[in-house]
Amino acid sequence: MAELLDIFKDFPIINFDTKKQHLLNIVSKRYPNNIKLHEMVREFQKSKTVVSPYEFPLSDDFVDTINSTFDEQDIENLIQRRLDDQNEELKKDYDYRVNAVTNQYNNFVRIWEVYESDLKLISKQIGNEIKTEAINQLITKLKDELDLIE
C-alpha cells in the first residue's frame, strides 16, 4: 500500500473531499498536538463547500500554499481566514436563496390579490360565495415563517 501511495503522491488532489482530507493529514502529521488547528480543519471538513467562485475555498493555490507553509501560526491564520471567507460565501448564498423565496412569495401575493378580487366579482354574479379563508390562512402562515427566516 505504501508503494501505491508513493506512486500517487505527486498527482493533483481532484475534489473537495480529498482536499479537505489532505488538509487534515497535513495538520495531523505536522502539528499533532495543536487542538485548535485540528478543530478548525474539522470545521472546514464538516461545512458545506462553496463552489463559486471557481473552487473556492479549496483552490489548488490554497492547497499549495498550505503545503509550502511550515509556520504553525501562519497555517492557523490561513485556514481561519479561508474558513471565514467560506462562511461569508455561504451566508451570501443563504441570503440570496431567502431573498428569492421572498420575491416569489411577494409575486404570489400580488397574483392572489388580483385573483381574489376577481373571485368576489364572480361570486356576486353566480350567487355563490367562493371561500378563500383557508388559502388566506396559509398565506399568512407562510409570511410569518418567512419573517422568522429573515
Tell me which residue of 91, 64, 86 sits closest to 75, measured CA to CA. 64
Segment 65-79 mean pLDDT: 88
Work out the pLDDT band at 51, boundaries 50, 70, 90: low
The pTM of this model reads 0.60
- Give the three cell numbers for residue 15: 475534489
Domain regions of the chain by residue span: 2-92, 109-149
pLDDT of residue 12: 46
Per-residue pLDDT tens over the stretch 88-143: 888 888 888 888 889 999 999 999 888 888 887 887 777 777 777 888 888 888 88
> Is residue 106 left, alpha or beta, with left meaning phi > 0 and alpha meaning psi from -120 to 50?
alpha
Segment 11-15 mean pLDDT: 50
| Cα end-to-end span (Å), the chain | 51
Q: Which residue has the higher pLDDT, 119 or 59?
A: 119
Per-residue pLDDT tens over the stretch 17-31: 777 788 888 888 888
